[in-house]
Chains A and B, each alone.
Chain A
Amino acid sequence: MAATTGPNTVSAGRYVGQAVKRLEDPRLLSGHGRYVDDVQLPGMLHVAFVRSSVARGTIVSIDTAAALALPGVHAVYTGADLNPRVGMFWHTMMGPPPELGGQTPYAPLTPLAGDDVRFVGDPIAVVIADNRYIAEDAADLVEVEIDAQQAIVGWETALDTDQRVHPGMASNVGQEMPATEVPEVEALFAGAPHVFTRRFAQCRATNVPMEPRGIIVHFDQYAGDMQIWAATQSASEWKATASRLTGVAEHRVKVVANDVGGGFGQKMMMTRDEAAVVMAAHLFGEAPIKWTEDRRESLMTANQGREEICDVTFAVTDDGVLLGAKVVFWEDIGAYPSAASSIAGMAGAVFPGPYKFPVVLPSGSTLYTNTVGKAAYRGPWMIETVAREQMMDHIAYELGIDPIEIRRRNVIHADDLPYTTCTTMVYESVTPSETMEQALEMLDVAAFRAMQAEAREQGRLLGMGVSIYIEPSAVAFGILSSDQAIMRMDNSGKVIVAMSTGNHGQSLETTIPQIVAEHLGCNIEDVLLVQGNTESSPTGPGTGGSRSAVVAGGAAMTAALKLKDKIVQIAAHMLEASPDDMEVNESVVSVKGTPAKALPFAMIAPIAYQMPEMLPQGMEMGLEVTARFQPAGQYTWSNATHVCTVEIDPETGMTKILRYIVSEDCGRMVNPMVVEGQIAGGVVQGIGGVLFENMIYDDDGNPLCTTFLDYLIPTAPEVPDIEVGHIETLAPGLTGFKGMGEGGAIAAPPCVANAIHDALRHLGIHPTTFPLGPSQVLQLLNDAKG
């Protein structure tokens, strides 16, 4: 899929920098992965939910008698049974709510609906039965009477109405970052040669992990232990949350995450449905209970993302030089958002992106509505790039400047570095200008423009789009600030590294061993990553936010160097040489220049564990090290430029992507194949968000996209080959790695939108709103014809 070009400015090692084939693939690609639903336990029972069919209303009555009478049904629990038993329900990353001394304004979180329902799909009762068939039959037999009220749908409605999504709250505003009035900025805008304002809108999307949510919980009431198998990005977080929910002491909760089939942010924090299963198992106490979310539940009830509006006002010179921006973010966060926090702070901070803005003033509000709650979704703050990169084109056309040229006039160049943005972000090693020029060269702009002109003569509509972004990877605050590696070489010289990562598609089972093997000097097949088991792995934040290569990779590298140091000391002692004269290759320590004086790891390890008399004096036995790694800055910046070309059918409004090009710089690449896979996956999701995916609710809050017939994700025939160019500029610090897991998804939507804009602008069409599917584009064409 990826044709790689571009200079490799960094030399690859034996493993780091090589396209090592994935160690997990033989298992996963042959269909032998072990996901939550594959786990079968003796005596295990199955859960189905009773869910609300209306978006807003008061629960008048719940009658569970018929369900309980069905043979094979063991229990039916409602909110009245489970909610009062909850100890605390909050997430480590966000900290406790204000009433518990924290600062995060959570939605009022209860596992099940209490007196009222707040979205279609709101869980009302948990049924536990012999199997899922009976559980679903019983769920159908639970009679729920609801006094329905008019749903609050859409952020503007939520802002205007005197009704509340969460009764008792003063307003429907979840969080607010007020606009700041700065007299100098007002003067700047008043005196600017040009001021342009646009409203850009993203439509709602959902994460669509291949494996929906799933959890098995066994509370052994006799032992007092709870064991959980979960589809999670962080086993550590599930352990903490389950303990807070139930009051079972955290060290008596064990969480296992085997293979996890994607998450894209949806599985970072435990949701209400999973909490309800935890609470139900705690109350039930007898047997393990399993909930496997089905696809319809996933589309109807798993948290969703992207429904964001961005009002941007840019002040510019006649030449298109940026003078300043005001940005207002509006977010529809549904009823029970998983993260509870606004993206406005982050989106505002990174809004300047690759350009030299003298000033940016962000503000924003989140609005509760009677819809599914908002999830973090691959680049949750991405509206800043979506809006900024489209705005650059709108301004360019207003001023009669080429969109490429206006970017060249504002982009940060190598000689600007280190560069501190007006929002105080510090870039030390980014290459926005270099990636843009590389991507444009890969396209051959002149050739495309000629083809476009010729096509236009024939009435065909071709366009090209560009978008640049700088990705704030590996965000480091709170629990996200560090990762740990617990590394041990066993008696035979093989290495186990236990980490708190939550690999769910990131290839960490390959890339972490690559890093360890590179820096320990062993063969990759001698290294095993152990993760997703809270009894063997350390406490940590899991995998998300483009962090694992940077932070977990840093911890793995540090631990490998520490372990190597000890191994070398033992070998040097045995060989009566100085540790400084030793070298390590392919699991053998030898004296430099004297290869005959050598000891393999397989001989050193037994000495460390069994022959204290042969160790250097005072050395602790064993070969076990730990290392905790904190990245140097709060963000580790990576960057990329996307360029694509499209053709639009003027009679149907269908857009076909002709070429898609990405030039990226994620620092030292651990594995170029994995980097390109991450880019491809993100780009496909980004394309989906413009051309295909649109999670629609009607005015009564009914979700209209509850199957894959209605919610369209791009499939292989809709996706072009993605051509990738690399530029490697080392990140500051030990490893040189930069995170890049989200960038593909962030830069793709404005790139596709800009290409559509370019194809249509000569007709007077200037789109600002997603989706841009065939019916929307044909409408724009019809409107332009008048």
Chain B
Amino acid sequence: MKPSPFTYHAPESIAEATALLAELGDDAKALAGGQSLVPMLSLRLAAFEHLVDLNRVAGLNAIERVNGHLRLGATVRQATAEHSAEVKSSVPLLARALPHIGHFQIRNRGTVGGSIAHADPASELPAVALALDAVIEAAGPGGTRRIAASDFFVSTWETALNDGEILSAVEFPVWSGRCGFAVEELTRRHGDFAIVGTAVGVQVDGDAVTKATIALFGVGATPLRASEAEAALMAGADVAEVARAATAGLTPSDDVHASGAYRTQVAAVMVRRALTKAIQEARA
């Protein structure tokens, strides 16, 4: 379990990092917290001739409010975000998702941006980004561009980032009004990747649900939004019905832990439980 040889680069600016990545192309990979990449290298499931470490790049680790969004720089550690009062009050769904990621030792190193850029379909943060319609800022040699979360996740470990681009920040919209949020997932053990999970948010006005978001993870090649189910919820459907609608037509794959059919069945349970909690919170 030793990685194959690679050259290590430690740029100190975004310009330097993106220039390097553009020049090295497919042979290079950006390294942030390393909690997914380094094990994959050690197992020789992945090999790159160059690693471009973003940890010394200036200005990537801020958490700040910008235009109704909470902006997290690419190298903000998951543990930092988890314990941030600003995250807790502005983006409760993110705060609730973070403790589900691995173990605290992993969150001490792992980054919010790295997890989203890694785009593992069973992980929490891509689903949170999708649920909240987050905006991903990509920095490349030619400058930055903004990508909607709904356009960002292409397939397993595959995103809309181009060669030479890094994820430089993620901006999460801040919800207002009477809101409730919940993350529900099924793991075999504490800290495992979820077999299946959901991240939901609702906004209520009296008994009416005026805004709803439901994202599922562990059910396909990318996190998925259940838009029809969201509409049904806002139209007054009960949560069990919404949960069934959210999971109808899913075709998750089998693995050693569970069949696709199991995932579909349990996904509905997770959605129902999450929505029940979120609505309860919003109405409280």
- Across the interface, do A136 and B44 meet the contact criterion of CB distance under 8 Å? yes
Min CB gap B107→A, angstroms: 16
The one of A692, A705, A718, A774 that contacts B258, using a Cβ cutoff of 8 Å: A774
Hey, which bits of chain B sit against chain A, CB under 8 A?
A: 1-5, 43-44, 186, 188-193, 195, 255-259, 262, 265-266, 269
- Point out the residues of chain B lying under 8 angstroms from A712, CB to CB: 188-189, 192, 257
Tell me, in angstroms, the Cα distance from A295 to B5 when the chains sit together. Answer: 20
Q: Which A6-38 residues have a C-beta within 8 angstroms of B? A: none
Given contacts A712-B188, A775-B258, 12 further A-B contacts (CB under 8 A): A133-B3, A652-B186, A654-B186, A694-B256, A696-B256, A705-B256, A717-B189, A774-B186, A774-B188, A775-B262, A778-B265, A778-B266
A586 at the interface (CB under 8 A from B): no
- Point out the residues of chain A lying under 8 angstroms from B2, CB to CB: 132-133, 136
- Across the interface, do A140 and B256 meet the contact criterion of CB distance under 8 Å? no
Min CB gap B23→A, angstroms: 25
- Point out the residues of chain A lying under 8 angstroms from B44, CB to CB: 136, 140
Min CB gap B118→A, angstroms: 14
Q: Which A728-747 residues have a C-beta within 8 angstroms of B? A: none
Known A294-B1, A295-B1: A773·B188 in contact at CB below 8 Å: yes
A709 at the interface (CB under 8 A from B): yes
Tell me, in angstroms, the Cα distance from A782 to B266 when the chains sit together. Answer: 12
- Across the interface, do B256 and A704 meet the contact criterion of CB distance under 8 Å? yes
| Range class of the A interface residue count | 20 to 34
A535 at the interface (CB under 8 A from B): no
Tell me, in angstroms, the Cα distance from A774 to B3 when the chains sit together. Answer: 35
Tell me, in angstroms, the Cα distance from A717 to B103 when the chains sit together. Answer: 12
The one of B4, B186, B256, B266 that contacts A137, using a Cβ cutoff of 8 Å: B4
Q: Which A127-145 residues have a C-beta within 8 angstroms of B? A: 132-133, 136-137, 140
Closest chain B residue, CB of each to CB of A137: B4
- Point out the residues of chain B lying under 8 angstroms from A133, CB to CB: 2-3, 5
Tell me, in angstroms, the Cα distance from A718 to B269 when the chains sit together. Answer: 22
The one of A710, A717, A779 that contacts B256, using a Cβ cutoff of 8 Å: A710
Hey, which bits of chain A sit against chain B, CB under 8 A?
A: 132-133, 136-137, 140, 294-296, 651-654, 692, 694, 696, 704-705, 707, 709-710, 712, 714-715, 717-718, 773-775, 778-779, 782
- Across the interface, do B192 and A137 meet the contact criterion of CB distance under 8 Å? no
* B4, B191, B255, B266 pick with most chain A CB within 10 angstroms: B266
Tell me, in angstroms, the Cα distance from A675 to B257 when the chains sit together. Answer: 34
* B188, B190, B255 pick with most chain A CB within 10 angstroms: B188
Min CB gap A141→B, angstroms: 11
Tell me, in angstroms, the Cα distance from A140 to B256 when the chains sit together. Answer: 27
- Point out the residues of chain B lying under 8 angstroms from A715, CB to CB: 189-191
- Across the interface, do A137 and B5 meet the contact criterion of CB distance under 8 Å? yes
- Point out the residues of chain A lying under 8 angstroms from B189, CB to CB: 692, 712, 714-715, 717-718
Known A296-B43, A696-B256, A774-B188: A709·B193 in contact at CB below 8 Å: yes
In the assembled complex, 27 residue pairs joining A and B whose CB atoms fall closer than 8 Å, in A order, are A133-B2, A294-B1, A296-B43, A651-B266, A651-B269, A652-B266, A654-B186, A704-B256, A705-B256, A709-B193, A710-B256, A710-B257, A712-B188, A712-B189, A715-B190, A715-B191, A717-B189, A717-B190, A718-B189, A718-B190, A773-B257, A774-B188, A774-B258, A774-B266, A775-B258, A778-B262, A779-B262
- Across the interface, do A652 and B192 meet the contact criterion of CB distance under 8 Å? no
- Point out the residues of chain A lying under 8 angstroms from B192, CB to CB: 709, 712
Min CB gap B265→A, angstroms: 7
Known A136-B2, A774-B258: A692·B188 in contact at CB below 8 Å: yes
- Point out the residues of chain A lying under 8 angstroms from B259, CB to CB: 775
Min CB gap B46→A, angstroms: 14
- Point out the residues of chain B lying under 8 angstroms from A707, CB to CB: 43
Closest chain A residue, CB of each to CB of B1: A294
Min CB gap A16→B, angstroms: 39
- Point out the residues of chain B lying under 8 angstroms from A782, CB to CB: 265
Min CB gap A49→B, angstroms: 12
- Point out the residues of chain A lying under 8 angstroms from B4, CB to CB: 136-137, 140
Min CB gap A153→B, angstroms: 15
Closest chain B residue, CB of each to CB of A696: B256
- Point out the residues of chain A lying under 8 angstroms from B191, CB to CB: 715, 717
Min CB gap A33→B, angstroms: 21
Closest chain A residue, CB of each to CB of B269: A651
Min CB gap A778→B, angstroms: 6
Closest chain B residue, CB of each to CB of A133: B2
Tell me, in angstroms, the Cα distance from A696 to B255 when the chains sit together. Answer: 11
Min CB gap A110→B, angstroms: 26
Tell me, in angstroms, the Cα distance from A709 to B257 when the chains sit together. Answer: 10
Tell me, in angstroms, the Cα distance from A294 to B5 when the chains sit together. Answer: 18
Min CB gap B110→A, angstroms: 15
Tell me, in angstroms, the Cα distance from A782 to B264 when the chains sit together. Answer: 13
Min CB gap A439→B, angstroms: 27
- Across the interface, do B1 and A296 meet the contact criterion of CB distance under 8 Å? yes
Please list the 8 inter-chain residue pairs (A to B) with the smallest Cβ-Cβ separation, ordered nearest first.
A717-B190, A294-B1, A775-B258, A651-B269, A133-B2, A775-B262, A136-B2, A704-B256
- Point out the residues of chain A lying under 8 angstroms from B190, CB to CB: 715, 717-718
Known A774-B188, A775-B258: A652·B269 in contact at CB below 8 Å: yes
- Point out the residues of chain B lying under 8 angstroms from A132, CB to CB: 2
- Point out the residues of chain B lying under 8 angstroms from A696, CB to CB: 256
- Point out the residues of chain B lying under 8 angstroms from A694, CB to CB: 256
- Point out the residues of chain A lying under 8 angstroms from B257, CB to CB: 710, 712, 773, 775
- Point out the residues of chain A lying under 8 angstroms from B3, CB to CB: 133
Min CB gap B37→A, angstroms: 15
Tell me, in angstroms, the Cα distance from A371 to B182 when the chains sit together. Answer: 44
Closest chain A residue, CB of each to CB of B265: A778
Tell me, in angstroms, the Cα distance from A294 to B43 when the chains sit together. Answer: 10
- Point out the residues of chain A lying under 8 angstroms from B266, CB to CB: 651-652, 774, 778
Tell me, in angstroms, the Cα distance from A295 to B191 when the chains sit together. Answer: 19
Tell me, in angstroms, the Cα distance from A295 to B39 when the chains sit together. Answer: 12
- Point out the residues of chain B lying under 8 angstroms from A778, CB to CB: 262, 265-266
Tell me, in angstroms, the Cα distance from A712 to B257 when the chains sit together. Answer: 9
Tell me, in angstroms, the Cα distance from A136 to B47 when the chains sit together. Answer: 13
- Point out the residues of chain A lying under 8 angstroms from B265, CB to CB: 778, 782
* A137, A696, A775 pick with most chain B CB within 10 angstroms: A775
- Point out the residues of chain A lying under 8 angstroms from B43, CB to CB: 296, 707
Min CB gap A298→B, angstroms: 10
Closest chain B residue, CB of each to CB of A718: B189
Closest chain A residue, CB of each to CB of B257: A775
Min CB gap A688→B, angstroms: 10
